[in-house]
């Protein structure tokens, strides 16, 4: 695994077999912040009609470096929001790789060792990181994952698998149906790709899909919402 610098100065990793990077080369942090934090969590919170202090449940497909988890944990602390974060990955990265990533130097963190805390959180166990953030990193193959205990459990799904042309198995219609089943009514899935087959697959699974402007140098991204009963856009 090779460490690369992206255009915003943050690191990504290059996967040698797939010849693919973990994030956009135009800016790893910028992409994650825009696609997942702003267009995912930020907009979801803005649209909440219940202004209490709910706990938001998040599922990430492809935990990878933990950059999304770090951004979400930091946001939770800064905004006094409780997040339960579940991240699935088939192949967790080693500590030797994770400690080389420069995210803690670039992101203004509310807790300086937050990235280290996430990295040290055990796999296949729930870890309460602080008053605002609980994480459950699950080592599993999403293609064989028994999701039946998670029926309508998640407010937000972050679909951050490798690109559809690199790993087509991760973008099959059966998975979109699983994601639909995993989302709460009104729940949202966001992903960085706007590929037509992905859009159509998500729609066929029952989601209402929007094509949104993309992060730097990418034209579009997708946001898919599971309708509340009888809801249409």
Ligand X SMILES: C[S@@+](CC[C@H](N)C(=O)[O-])C[C@H]1O[C@@H](n2cnc3c(N)ncnc32)[C@H](O)[C@@H]1O
The alpha carbons of the chain give a radius of gyration, in whole angstroms, of 17
Neighbouring CB atoms inside 10 A of 14's CB total 14
Q: How far is the CB of 79 from ligand X (least distance, A)?
A: 20
Using CA atoms, how far residue 29 sits from 102, 103, 167, in Å, is 10, 8, 22
142 binds ligand X per the rule CB under 6 A? yes
Among 85, 162, 171, 180, binds ligand X (CB under 6 A): 162
Q: How far is the CB of 229 from ligand X (least distance, A)?
A: 31
Q: How far is the CB of 160 from ligand X (least distance, A)?
A: 4
Looking at beta carbons only, is 71 or 224 nearer to ligand X?
71
Q: Taking Cα atoms as reference points, which of 17, 105, 114, 118 lies closest to residue 65?
A: 118
Alpha carbon distance 219, 208 (integer Å): 20
Q: How far is the CB of 3 from ligand X (least distance, A)?
A: 12
| Tokens found for residue 34 | 């825009």
Alpha carbon distance 129, 123 (integer Å): 13
Size of the site for ligand X (CB under 6 A): 18
Enumerate residues 6+ apart whose C-beta is below 8 A from 85. Answer: 58, 60, 69, 72, 73, 133, 134, 135, 136
Where does this chain touch ligand X (CB under 6 A) — which range of 108-116, 126-134, 159-167, 211-219?
159-167
Among 35, 160, 176, 199, binds ligand X (CB under 6 A): 160
Neighbouring CB atoms inside 10 A of 177's CB total 15
Among 27, 40, 62, 201, binds ligand X (CB under 6 A): 62
30 binds ligand X per the rule CB under 6 A? no
Using CA atoms, how far residue 206 sits from 62, 183, 189, in Å, is 23, 11, 12
143 binds ligand X per the rule CB under 6 A? yes
91 binds ligand X per the rule CB under 6 A? yes
Looking at beta carbons only, is 31 or 134 nearer to ligand X?
31
Among 27, 40, 64, 201, binds ligand X (CB under 6 A): 64
72 binds ligand X per the rule CB under 6 A? no
**Interface residues toward ligand X, by CB under 6 A:** 22, 32, 62, 64-65, 67-68, 88-91, 141-143, 160-162, 170
């Amino acid at each position: 695994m090779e460490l690369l610098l992206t255009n915003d100065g943050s690191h990504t990793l290059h996967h040698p077999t797939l010849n693919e990077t973990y994030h956009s080369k135009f800016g790893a942090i910028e992409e994650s912040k825009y696609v997942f934090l702003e267009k995912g969590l930020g907009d979801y919170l803005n649209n909440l009609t219940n202004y209490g202090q709910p706990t938001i449940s998040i599922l990430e497909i492809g935990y990878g470096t933990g950059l999304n988890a770090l951004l979400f944990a930091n946001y939770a602390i800064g905004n006094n929001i409780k997040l339960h974060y579940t991240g699935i990955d088939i192949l967790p990265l080693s500590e030797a790789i994770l400690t080389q990533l420069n995210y803690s130097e670039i992101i203004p963190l509310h807790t300086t060792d937050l990235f280290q805390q996430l990295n040290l959180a055990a796999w296949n166990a729930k870890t309460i990181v602080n008053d605002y953030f609980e994480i459950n990193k699950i080592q599993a193959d999403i293609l064989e994952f028994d999701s039946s205990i998670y029926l309508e459990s998640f407010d937000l799904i972050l679909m951050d698998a490798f690109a559809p042309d690199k790993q087509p198995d991760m973008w099959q219609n059966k998975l979109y149906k699983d994601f639909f089943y995993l989302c709460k009514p009104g729940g949202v899935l966001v992903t960085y790709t706007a590929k037509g087959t992905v859009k159509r697959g998500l729609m066929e699974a029952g989601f209402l899909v929007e094509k949104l402007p993309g992060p730097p140098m990418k034209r579009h991204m997708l946001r898919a919402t599971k309708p509340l009963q009888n809801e249409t856009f």
